[in-house]
Amino acid sequence: MNFEKLYTVLDVEKLGNSVMTHHRLHIFVKNEKPPDEIYPSHDKDKDKLKKMVDAINSGVELPPILIDECNMIMDGNHRLYAHKELEKEKIKVFQAIGRLNLDIIDSMRKK
């Protein structure tokens, strides 16, 4: 894989996405993937899907979706569904490549 840049939680949060889950700090890389290689984490809402399709068709640049190491969506299901409906070849993603357990880091600092 050819990654442009490593992203930390602070970089991704600038996009309005929270990536702190279960006391873990996720590390992301920016990439593009075919939509068919990404797995949604919940069903689609027709109203949200229509809004996303309309936004893409009107030229709005949506933020990349967040996916985990297994290509499962952490944030951005309807952006993925919209790209699939519009038969787009690629979608921008921030893919998690690892995570740090913050509890372990905190306990090491206390020693």
Domains recognised in the chain with CATH numbers: 6-110 (3.90.1530)
CB proximity list for 97: less than 8 A, separation 6 or greater:
6, 27, 28, 29, 69
What pLDDT, on the 0 to 100 scale, is given for residue 100?
A: 58
- Rounded distance between C-alpha atoms, residue 77 and residue 20, angstroms: 18
pLDDT in tens, the chain (111 residues): 333 444 444 444 444 444 444 455 667 778 899 999 999 988 999 999 999 999 999 999 888 888 888 899 988 999 999 999 999 999 999 887 766 555 554 555 555
- Rounded distance between C-alpha atoms, residue 67 and residue 74, angstroms: 5
CB proximity list for 57: less than 8 A, separation 6 or greater:
86
